[in-house]
Structures are given as C-alpha cells and as structure tokens.
Amino acid sequence: MLLLLVMPAVSASSTVSNSASSPGVSSGAHLPIPNVRGLAATPGAFSFVSNFEDYQLDGWIPVSGIKPTITSVTTYAGEPALLSKAGPVTPQIDIAKQGFVTGDTFVSFQLAIDAGTGSGVFGLGKQGNPVAVVGVSDGNVVAGGSIGSLQEIEPVPTGTAYPAGWVYLAANVTNSGGAWEMNVFVDGTLNTAATVDVPAASGYTDAIIETTSQSVLYTDVAVATFTIPIYIPGYNNMDGYGQGSGLLVHFLPAYYLLTAEMTLNSWSVPQRGILSFQINAMNYVGTAYSTCEGFYQLGVDLDPGGTIAPWYVPGVGCYAKYFNPTTLIHTPPGSHLLLSIYDNTLSDIINFTIIDTTNGDVFTASIPYTGSLFYGAYTQVEFQPCCNSYPIQDYRLVGSLTSLQVTMPGGKTAGLPASYMIPFTLDTPPSWDFTYYQGSTYSYDQIT
C-alpha cells in the first residue's frame, strides 16, 4: 500500500546499540480473535488486479468492438497500459471476472485512466453492461450506474503527482440501508468527490471497461472486497509505487511476530526522505478496514550518500517516527538488515527492531499496546510523489526482501501462503531491481 506520508523527524523513545534481546514467547491474544468483517453476511472476499506489466490482456475478454491492445508507446510513467479504441458506431467493451465472487454488499475498485478528449469508464458490470462505473468523458470525471446515467463530477485535475493527462479514480460501492450507492474519489482519498446512486450494482458479475469515443488508456486496475480508497491525504493503493491491504484475499492466522531480512545492494537518490523500503503488520482493525489505526510499519529511508534513516509507524495516524531524528546512518552497499515487529503480550507492548548485521547497529523502540494480535502483513517499496523535487527515474534501488515470516501463538513460524494476497507487479521504473521472498512456496509474486 502506498501511504503518501510526510515522514517528519519526530522524536521517539528509541535507542541505537550494539545488541538486542531475542523476543520471548507470546501467550496469546490480548483480545478474543474476532470474526472477519462482514464476511458472515456475504459470499466471500476476492481481489482482482490488472496492470498489464506482462504485456498481456490479464483475462480481459472483448464483448463489443475490436480487441484491445497493450501499448508500450503511450504509457503511464513508462509502464504499459491497455489501449481501448471505440468504433465509429459501437463502443469497445471488455469484461474480466476471474476470481469474482458475486453477491457481496461491499466492493471497492480503482484505476488510472488517460482519456484525452475521448470517453471511457471502468467499474462493475453485469454481463457486459455497466452497473457502477467511473471514468472520463470530454475532459471531465464522470460516474454512474450506467452509460446513460453518468454524472459529471469535476474536470480532470491538472498539476497532480500523476503523469500529464492521467487521473487516479477510485470508488466504494456499498449497500446502505437497502439502497446501493457509490462513493467516488478523484486523484486522492481525503474527501469523497461525489456519491451517486447505483441501483443495479447488487447484480454485478464482472469488471468492465467501456470506451465510447476515441481511444482511452487504462492501467493499475484493482477490484476488491477490502477497502481500497480510505480517507488519508494523497493516499492511493498502487499508483504511487506501493501496495496494500486492499489486495488481501483473506486474513492470515493470528500472529504476534513478523520478521524479514533486507539486503540493500545499492541505491542512488537525489533527495532525502522520498524512497523507503519496509514491512507492515496490521492488527484486526488495520487489516479489515484499511485504516491508520492498527497499522504498524518498520523500514528505512534510502537517502543520499549511502545513508539510511530507520523508522517505524506506531499504529496511529500513519506517520513515521525516526529512531534517530537528526542523524543519517551510513551503511555500505550490500548491507544486510534483520527486521521484526513483535507484539509482546506478556508486557503489553509492541517492539520494533532493525539490526544492521553489516556494521552492528541495532535500532529498537517500544510502544504500549493491548489490542488484538496481527492478522495482515505485506511489504512495500514506497516513493512519495507528493514531496519529491526530482522525477522517479532519478532514483535507483537494487535490493531484496526475503524470509518474510509470521510466528503464531504456540510458537509455530510460517511464511505467507500464496493464496493470501492477489499477485501483482509493483509500479517501479524498469531500471529498478529488487527481489521479494526467496521462493514461490510461501510467497505472492511481486516483480518489476
């Protein structure tokens, strides 16, 4: 998940030392293990992602007009996109439905779209007909429950963090008191841009792309039953070179310890505090609701001159605290780091620890905690287009994250099951090179 955070140099109760104690054994959850949000009343969770970085149609099936193509000429920040061309009489309509579970009362989706002066929409469909879609028409963001009921929301914003012509759109479709409605977000998620009625959304069967005039580009498509747009300034789930819990398929078993190994082979950045590499653990609230509450991160900024700035997010507000607020830490190329986020249920605290095994530095911090055990985990390469003064292509990273594991009550340790999160490729420049996880047995594929 990308959180476009301004990571201020906030003081924290933390230390730098040359040793760290090993975690103890957890006795169990602080709170009873809760039920998964909403799933008892709905058929089940699912996620669908399509960003075309494999230059394939990713399951999209044409049902009207000509077959779309994947373009590497006109792209989203150097990455491929689906090019859909409307005919002179008939629209270009494509649907995708692999993995879809119908009948859910909450569905969330997002996309990046460049329509130019053309018109196109994306969202939920029913057998080739839109039932809840957002898009662009004649330079305006539009949304509605059908092509005939599209409402103009606002002009396509300019001067944003996204490439010229592109706009990020997202929506939450929900049954509210028996009536189906769609909350629409444009370019960010701090505020809802509009709420529109989508009475036929209950019958959704698939995702749909419909281009009604000229040529339109689509990419970074996601549909999920976990919330994608949430009320955080500048937040989106994929477009900012990150990933997130909106792509979870199901909860992990309750666990109290998340560990990972990070190798920083080389990095080159022109500006401090823009590029970071991290792991994330979420308690029940953070996993189920995609919120800053119950959201715990641990990672390092990759800074100029071979320096790093280790930090953690303590589960409130999504803002990071640096272990050393005023000091950049020098570490050589090839540095190997050990990371852990540990819910110490015996002491009612969470411990954050980073050990740089190359130079012997240890960074530790603790916060009070009496919430649930953790239920979600993922990793992140985070670039902050909100605050950078240089294009992302000026940033370089060669590194890896391996041995991501969780430890459950009773002491059993395991990797992440392959079915836990939908596989997708990260939005990073082709020049970047980083590797997650050492194999496919316990991993979800993530490649540049």
Q: Please, what's the b/e burial string for 140-161 (b: 16 or more CB within 10 A of its CB; e: otherwise)?
A: bbbbbbbbebbeebeebeeebb
DSSP state of 69: E
Asked if the model's pLDDT at residue 3 lies above 60, the reply is: no
Would you kindly state where each structural domain of the chain is located, as residue ranges? 14-36+251-436, 39-224
Percentage of the chain with pLDDT > 70?
Answer: 78
pLDDT band at 399 (very low <50, low <70, confident <90, very high): confident
pLDDT band at 390 (very low <50, low <70, confident <90, very high): confident
CATH architecture for the domain at 14-36+251-436: Sandwich (2.60)
Same fold: 14-36+251-436 with 39-224: yes
Q: Is the distance from CB of 135 to CB of 125 less than 8 angstroms? A: no
Asked if the model's pLDDT at residue 386 lies above 90, the reply is: no
Q: Which pLDDT value is given to residue 388?
A: 79
CA–CA distance, 244 with 425 (Å, rounded to integer) = 12
CA–CA distance, 87 with 437 (Å, rounded to integer) = 45
pLDDT in tens, 284-338: 888 776 667 888 999 999 999 999 999 999 987 778 899 988 788 999 999 999 9
What's the predicted TM-score (pTM) here? 0.72
CA–CA distance, 370 with 29 (Å, rounded to integer) = 9
Q: Among 27-31, 69-73, 90-94, 170-174, where is mean pLDDT lowest?
A: 27-31
Q: Which residue is it, tokens 């590497």?
A: 72
CATH topology for 39-224 is: Jelly Rolls (2.60.120)
Q: Which pLDDT value is given to residue 437?
A: 39
